[in-house]
Amino acid sequence: MTDPTSTTTEANPSEVAASSNPEEQPSYVRLAMRNMVKKKRQSLVHFFLSTVGVLGLLVGLSYLTR
């Protein structure tokens, strides 16, 4: 019988990824947020252009399918 409290040398890959230091490999979300903070004006311009584009697409599709 093995002791359930003993540690094994084999590690589950998901456990290894979860236990890695977040300072070594920042997540993509964290990098994106940091980039948006550094480039506030550009991020806001792109956000508003995207919003206008999506709204224009929806209004155009509603006009075509009326």
The DSSP result for the chain, as a single string, is ---TTS--S---HHHHHHHS-TTTS--HHHHHHHHHHHTHHHHHHHHHHHHHHHHHHHHHHHHHT-
Place of tokens 């508003």: 48
Quick one: which of 17, 14, 33 has its CA closest to 25?
A: 17
Q: Mind listing the pLDDT tens digit for each residue in 35-56? A: 989 999 999 999 999 999 999 9
The pLDDT of residue 25: 82
Q: Mind listing the pLDDT tens digit for each residue in 3-38? A: 556 555 555 555 555 555 656 788 999 998 999 899
Q: pTM of this prediction?
A: 0.51
The pLDDT of residue 37: 92
